[in-house]
Every structure is written in C-alpha cells, then in structure tokens.
Structure 1
C-alpha cells in the first residue's frame, strides 16, 4: 500500500505523488538543455526539488539523446572552506553517481587519476573535461544542494564551471543545473566567519535563467488526496480537502504531513470506512505543531537569525517594516517562510507557519511561567471567561515585569507572555489561533476551549502615539464580526517610557464598541 511521503525524494511505487515533471515547464527545461544553457533551480526545503531533478535525469537517460547525472553535493559542506577537501569530495561524489546511474565503471578511475595529478582549484574542471571528451553523448549534470557550500569552496566550484563553459558540449557538460534553497546571487557570496563580500565580480555570469519550483496548486492537492481514496476507498470530505488547502496553501511537505498524520497515524483515520473530515485535519495540524516535527522546527529555528527577526518582529507587532534590506526580504521568500500576496504585500506563507512562529517564540516565556492554579475553570471543567480575566490580571501584576525579559523579541514581549499564559490555560484542552500582518497595528487572538470562544485584540501604546483605545475598539468589532461573537477583550500594553510599575497600572474597564458590543478593555 502506498502512503503520503514526508521523507526524502518521491518514489511513485510506494508514495502518493504529483508527477515531478508536471510541476515545472518541462518544455522550457528541454529547450534550455537543447540550447546548451546553464541554469538554476531553487525552492524552499522539502518542496520536491530533488524529486524533480531525479525525474528529469531519468527521462533524459531514457530518451537517449543525453547522458544525465544527478549528484548531491551536501557531503562537501563539512569541508567548509577547505577547497582541497571539498573538491575531492565533489569530484568523488559526481563520479560515484555516474557509476550508479549510467553504469560507467571508468568514471571513478578517471576521478582518482585527476585528483592525484591536479590541484584542487582545477580538479573538477579537468575531471569534467576529460570525462565529456570520452563520452559518446553530451552530459547534463544536475548538482543539488549547491547552496550548502560556502565561501572559497563555492567560488571554486562556480569558477571551474565557468572556465570550462566555452568547451561545451564536446569537452564539458552541455548543461549544468545548480539546485538549492536560495537563488544564487554570486555577487553576495560571503565567508563563513565574516559577513563581508569576498568576491568582487560575478563567479557564475554564465547562467541563462533562474527557475523557482512552486508549491502545489489546489488541483494538485485534490489529486494527491484522491490517490488515497482510489487506493483505499477512504474519502476526504470536500470540507477536509478545502481545509488542507487553506492550512498549507499547497506547501508540499505540509500537505503530505497533514494527510499522513490523519490517515496513517491517528486511530480514527486508520478506519478506512470512515471519511476524513475537517475536524480530523485540524487535529492533525495541532499534532504536527505540538510534536515540533523537524520541518517546522527547522523553520522556527530561523527566527534566531537577525535578518529573519528584522522582518518577522514587525509583522508580529503589526508595525511597518521600515528600512529592511531587500536581501533580507528575498531571503524569507527563498526560505518559503513568507510570500508576496497580491494586493496585500508580504505575508506569512500559510496559516500553519503563521501559527508556528509566535508559538515557538512564546515557548521560552511559557517554560518560565510560575506555578499557576487553574482558577479559570468552572466545577464542571468548562472555561469561565470572568475568572480567566481575574487570573490574568493577578498573574500580570505579579509576574508581568519579570516575564518580559524571557521573551526573545523585545518589541512583542508582552504579546508573547500573554500567549504563554493562554497556552497554560488551554493546556491541550483547546486551541489558540493568531492573526497578524504588517501595518495592521495589532495582533488578534482567538481562544477556543470547549463551548467557549474568546476573541482578543492586542494593541501597544508607544511613545509619541495617541491612546489606541478608539482604534482598537473599532478593529475588535471587525475581528469579532468574523468570529460571530458579541463580546471580547481589547488588551492595550502601555510601552511608553516613565510609566508606573506594571502592578500599579494594570486595570480593566468595560467599554461599548462602535457597533454596540460590550467589551472588556485591559490596560497592562
């Protein structure tokens, strides 16, 4: 029985899959190869780049016009900027791949000879030149994980390819495809230990094009899920299919992970007579986030990088980006962490990522929380919003100031501490959803616990700005409209200088919104 793939390249014999060669313009690829072009393929991690390269190599070798070899250069990353060690690894990796994929037993002997007789800075070029000169068909070389290389090692690779370029296709590869997470902006290659540019010119100005592998579209998602139905008879309801698309926006790993968790890990989903519904997809999403699966954990780890923080922190705070370097924005787009949304500018790429980022940032404050008695529950275990308000005010007055220092992003420290508190409240018995965007001036939270749904809006009062009360009341009206609620909380964090201590200024009042809702206004 096939299953949804979440590890490594797709194997159609054991995985449900969207045909890799249908995910890009194959005619364009073949045209570039036919014209002897060198080009780039880039996309975020775990989107199917390797599967596409392997499928392309297989098709090219099957057609018989070219000989194609796929090689993963990640092994050379451990060499860092030791060019001799890295180039030895690269040449040996390509030779071993050719032996496996083409059955050419002489390539490894050739590699050994070249590495013995040539300097590392020319070994790759000499190896490719001698190999291509002796080959009966033009070589198409597909090099994966190129962006794992750094500094002098990367420069050496690119310059050796550029030096041999004029000799193609008789004495050098007809086409070289470089693949990685980022587009290769070679004029910004940096050393590993310093951030200064170490190459003044273009090390790979022979590239013809830079192609980006996109996510699944909605039809791809439906087709992938339908393969499970065809194989097992288990159907996905239309609402479940729509929710998979909504939560993932077609990110391939997320689509497969949600489906695998639902259909193969959860007991209810393993009952093939039971339809997969929206609630099961939502439960699977929560499980993936709570388990900190590798894909999401690696993504969240990027939050520590200064160039990521410069973009994500104002997004979470709802403020303008300011003078953020273009390369920082492009970095987040290349990572797949953000996307450009037509008419809305830069946004988080999908709702799952949007949920993961603040949750991960709130993890340290949550771990730092003191022991809190759950006084917010009724005797029957249901959530009492009035008691929750009393508990939060008591917690904030006693611990708020000390807890702010545990938050990793200073500008949104109050938000993170509040979210940490609310995660202690739900403690696996509910959910906390978040909405935020650049320039919105707020973050919205929706706490769901049993039959209770509580909408909150978080605002910050900063120096030189007017009291955000009126704006917040109007914005909260709009948020509660979408949730179908008549009441909610407006929480205003006063971050102005020279204010009284938190325990003295933390209060709450009741207010009427422009649409007539009875709201709680917390000033903290």
Structure 2
C-alpha cells in the first residue's frame, strides 16, 4: 500500500505523488539543455527538488540523446575549507553515482588512478573533461545540495565548472544544473583564500537561468490527497480538503505530513470506513507542531540567524519593514519562510509557519515560567476570563521583569512572555490563535478553551510615539467583530525609557470600544 511521503525523494510504487516532471516547465528545461546552458534549480527544503532531478535524469536517459547523471554532493560539506578533501569527496560521489545510475565504472577507475596525480583545484574539472570526452553523447550533470558546501571548497567547485565551460560539449558537460535551497545570489562565500566574501554570481557568472520549484497549487493539493481515496476508498470531506490547502498553502512537505498524520497515524484515520474531516486535519496540525517534527524544527532553527531576525521580529510585532536589504527578503523567500501576496506585499508563507514561529520563540520564556496554579478555572473546569485576568496580573507583576530577559527577540519580548503564559493556560485543553499584519503595529490573539473564546490585542508604546490606546481600541473592535465577540483585552506594553518597575506600573481599567464592546485595558 502506498502512503504520503515525508522523507526523501518520491517513489512511484511506494508513495502518493504528483508526476515530478509536471511540477516545472519541462519544455523550458529541455530548451536550456538544447542550448548547452548551465543553470540553477532552487527551492526550500523538502519541496521535491531531488525528485524532479531524478525524474529528469531518467527522462533524458530514456530519450538516448544525452547521458544524464544525478549526483548528491552534500557529503563534501564535512570537508569545510579543506579543498583537497572536498574535491576528493565530490569526485568519489560522481563515481558512485555513475555506477549506480548508468552502470559506468570509468569515473571511479579514473579517481583511483589518474585523479590522484592532479591538484585538488583541478581534479573535478579534469574528471569531467575525461568523462565528457569518453562518449559521443553530450553529458548533462545534475549536482544536488551544492549550497551545502563551504568556503574554499565551494569556490573550487564553481570555478572549475566555470573554467571548463568553454570546452563543452566535447570535453566538458553540455549542461550543468546546480540545485540547492538558495539562489546563487544568496551564496555568501567566506573563503580563506580570498580577502573578502565572494558572491555566487562572481564565482559562477556563466549561469543562464535560475529556476524556482514552486509549491503545489490548490488543484494539485487536492489531486494528491485524492490519490489516497482512489487507493483505499477513504474520502476527505470538502471541508478537510479546504483545510489542508488553507493551513499549508500547498507547501509540499506540509501537505504530505498533515495527510500522513491524519490517515496513517491517528486511530480515527486508520479506520478506512471513516471520512477524514476538518477536525482530524486540525488535530494533525497540532500534533506536528507539538512534536516539533524535523521539517518544522529545521525551520525554527533559522530564527537564530540575524538576517532572519531582522525581518521576522518586526513582522510578529506588526511593525513596518523599513530599510531592510532586498537580499534579506529574497533569502527568507528562498527558505520558504515568506511569500508575496497577490498585491505584492510579503507575509509568512502559510498559517502553520505563522503559528510555529512565535511558538518556537516563546519556548524559552515558557520553560522559564514558575509553577502556576490554574486559578483561572471554575469549579466545573471551565475557563473564567475574570479569574484569568487576575492570574495574569499577579504573574506579570511578580515575574514579568526577569522573564523579559529570557526572550530571544528583545523587541517582542513582552509578546513572547504573554504567549508563554497563555500556552500554560491552554495546555491540553484549548488553542491559541495568532494574527499579525505588517504596518498595523499589533499582534492579535484568540484564546479558545472549551466554550469560551477570548480576543486579545497586544500593542507596544515606544519612545516618541503617542499613547496607543485610541488606535488599539479601534483595531480591537474590528478583530472582535470578526470573532463575533462583545468583549476582549487590550494589552499595552509600555517600553518607554524611564518608566517605573513593572510591578508598580501594571494596572487594569475597563472601558468601551468605539463599537460599544466591553474592553479590559491592561497597561503592563
């Protein structure tokens, strides 16, 4: 029985799949190969790049016009700056791939004999010259995980390809496709042999195109899910199909992971007579996030990078993005963290990522929280918003100051501490939903616990800006209207210099919003 794949390339006999060659413009790719071009394929991790390259290799070899070879060179990353070792690993990887896919031992034999006598800086190019000239068929080389290489090793690889380029196709590959997460423009190569960082474009200025593998469309997402229905008879309700698309926006790994969790991991989903509904998809999402599965963990790890923090921090706070390098935005887009909206603005790529990022950032404050008794529950175990407000005020006055220092993003530290507190509240019994918009200057939260829903808006008062109360009440009115609630919290974090300690300045007042809703204004 086939299943949804979340690890490695797809295999037709084992996995539900969309034919890989339909996921990019094959006619364009074949045209570039016909023109003897060297080009890039890039996309975020676990979106199907390797599957596409393997399918392209098989297609070209079946046509019997080219010799095509896929080579994964990620293992050369371990060589770091050691060019001798790195080039030996790359050549060895090519030799093993030629044996595996083409039943051709000549590259391996060359590495053992002639290759040992050639300097590391020329060894890969010499191997390609030898092997490209060994047959009349033009050679097409598909190099995967190129951007995993580091420093001088990456420079050596790129420059050898550039040096041999004029000799194609008789004595060098007709076409080379470099594949990785990042576009070549984002290669910032710090080589010991160079006085300044090198850009990928300068080290490999023979690049003709840079192709990006996109996410699934909504129709493709549904086609993939319905492969399971055709195989097992188990259907997805229309609401479940829509929910998968809404949560993932077609990100291939997320689509497969949600469906695998719902259909193969959950007890209800393993009952093939039961339809997969939207509630089961939501439960699958929550399970993926709570278990910090590898894909989401790798994504969260990127939050430590400074160029990622420069963009994600103001986005979470709802602040405008000002004077940011375009290269940083392009980098986060290549990582799959951001996408462009229809109107041209940027946003977090999908709702699951929008939930994972602040949750991850709140982990350290959450782990630092003291033991908190659930005084916010009534005698029937239901959430009491008045008790919750009293518990938060007591917590914030006592622990707010030291916990702010534990938050990894200083500018949104209050947001993260409050979310950490609320995660303790909903742990196992509810959900915490987040909304944030660039330029709006706010983050909105909706806490759901049983039959109770609480809308909360967070704003920050900074030096040189007016009191955010009036604007906050207006914005909260709109948020509560969308939630169909007639009351909520407006939390104003005062981050101006020279303010009294948190314990002294924290207070709460009740007021009415412009729409007449009852609002608890918490100045913290």
TM-score by length of 2: 0.98
| Secondary structure, counterpart of 2:54 in structure 1 | helix
Match in the other structure for 1:374:
374
| Secondary structure, counterpart of 1:134 in structure 2 | coil
Deviation at 1:136, TM superposition (A): 3.3
Q: CA contact under 8 A between 1:17 and 1:224: conserved in structure 2?
A: yes
Q: Deviations over 1:188-238 (max 9, x none)?
A: 432389994147982211111000000000011000000000011110011
Distance in structure 1 (CA, Å) of the matches to 2:452 and 2:191: 54
Match in the other structure for 1:70:
70
Q: Does residue 428 of the first structure (1) align with residue 428 of the second (2)?
A: yes
Match in the other structure for 2:5:
5
Q: CA contact under 8 A between 1:133 and 1:171: conserved in structure 2?
A: yes
Match in the other structure for 2:499:
499
| Secondary structure, counterpart of 2:202 in structure 1 | coil
Q: CA contact under 8 A between 1:67 and 1:140: conserved in structure 2?
A: yes
Distance in structure 1 (CA, Å) of the matches to 2:209 and 2:201: 18
Q: Does residue 174 of the first structure (1) align with residue 203 of the second (2)?
A: no
Distance in structure 2 (CA, Å) of the matches to 1:201 and 1:484: 53
Q: CA contact under 8 A between 1:86 and 1:153: conserved in structure 2?
A: yes
Deviation at 1:320, TM superposition (A): 1.7
Distance in structure 1 (CA, Å) of the matches to 2:409 and 2:260: 34
Q: CA contact under 8 A between 2:414 and 2:493: conserved in structure 1?
A: yes
Alignment of 1:11-26 (within 5 A): 11-26=11-26
Q: CA contact under 8 A between 1:240 and 1:281: conserved in structure 2?
A: yes
Q: CA contact under 8 A between 1:47 and 1:252: conserved in structure 2?
A: yes
Alignment of 1:353-502 (within 5 A): 353-502=353-502
Match in the other structure for 2:40:
40
Q: Deviations over 1:387-443 (max 9, x none)?
A: 001100111111111111111111001100000000000111111011112211000
Distance in structure 1 (CA, Å) of the matches to 2:395 and 2:170: 74
Distance in structure 1 (CA, Å) of the matches to 2:478 and 2:193: 49
Match in the other structure for 2:57:
57
Alignment of 1:185-196 (within 5 A): 185=185, 188-191=188-191, 196=196
| Secondary structure, counterpart of 2:453 in structure 1 | strand
Shift in alpha-carbon separation, 1:363–1:380, aligned structure 2, 3 A: same
Distance in structure 1 (CA, Å) of the matches to 2:213 and 2:225: 21
| Secondary structure, counterpart of 1:268 in structure 2 | coil
Shift in alpha-carbon separation, 1:264–1:195, aligned structure 2, 3 A: farther
- Cα RMSD (Å) of the superposition? 1.5
Q: CA contact under 8 A between 2:152 and 2:192: conserved in structure 1?
A: no
| Secondary structure, counterpart of 1:235 in structure 2 | coil
Structure 1: gaps spanning 5 or more residues: none
Q: Does residue 340 of the first structure (1) align with residue 334 of the second (2)?
A: no
Count of aligned residue pairs for this structure pair:
524
Q: Does residue 129 of the first structure (1) align with residue 129 of the second (2)?
A: yes
Shift in alpha-carbon separation, 1:458–1:324, aligned structure 2, 3 A: same
Distance in structure 2 (CA, Å) of the matches to 1:136 and 1:488: 74
Q: Deviations over 1:356-378 (max 9, x none)?
A: 00000000000000111100001
Distance in structure 1 (CA, Å) of the matches to 2:106 and 2:164: 21
Distance in structure 2 (CA, Å) of the matches to 1:199 and 1:26: 29
| Secondary structure, counterpart of 1:98 in structure 2 | helix
Distance in structure 1 (CA, Å) of the matches to 2:419 and 2:97: 50
Match in the other structure for 2:261:
261
| Secondary structure, counterpart of 1:458 in structure 2 | strand
Match in the other structure for 2:235:
235
Match in the other structure for 2:204:
204
| Secondary structure, counterpart of 1:270 in structure 2 | coil
Deviation at 1:344, TM superposition (A): 5.6
Q: CA contact under 8 A between 2:186 and 2:331: conserved in structure 1?
A: no
Q: CA contact under 8 A between 1:151 and 1:198: conserved in structure 2?
A: no
Alignment of 1:310-325 (within 5 A): 310-325=310-325
Deviation at 1:186, TM superposition (A): 7.5
| Secondary structure, counterpart of 2:491 in structure 1 | strand
More deviation in 285-294 or 112-121? 112-121
TM-score by length of 1: 0.98
Match in the other structure for 1:328:
328
Distance in structure 1 (CA, Å) of the matches to 2:394 and 2:260: 43
Match in the other structure for 1:157:
157
Distance in structure 2 (CA, Å) of the matches to 1:187 and 1:15: 33
Q: CA contact under 8 A between 1:186 and 1:204: conserved in structure 2?
A: no
Distance in structure 2 (CA, Å) of the matches to 1:188 and 1:410: 27
Deviation at 1:345, TM superposition (A): 1.2
Deviation at 1:481, TM superposition (A): 1.5
Distance in structure 1 (CA, Å) of the matches to 2:163 and 2:191: 22
| Secondary structure, counterpart of 1:466 in structure 2 | coil
Distance in structure 2 (CA, Å) of the matches to 1:107 and 1:429: 60
Distance in structure 2 (CA, Å) of the matches to 1:288 and 1:304: 21
Q: CA contact under 8 A between 1:150 and 1:192: conserved in structure 2?
A: no
Match in the other structure for 1:84:
84
Distance in structure 2 (CA, Å) of the matches to 1:315 and 1:321: 7
| Secondary structure, counterpart of 2:454 in structure 1 | strand
Q: Does residue 302 of the first structure (1) align with residue 315 of the second (2)?
A: no
Distance in structure 1 (CA, Å) of the matches to 2:76 and 2:359: 35
Q: CA contact under 8 A between 2:2 and 2:16: conserved in structure 1?
A: yes
Q: Deviations over 1:452-475 (max 9, x none)?
A: 111100001111111111100110
Structure 2: gaps spanning 5 or more residues: none
Match in the other structure for 1:115:
115
Q: Deviations over 1:147-194 (max 9, x none)?
A: 001211111111111111111111111100000000012884323899
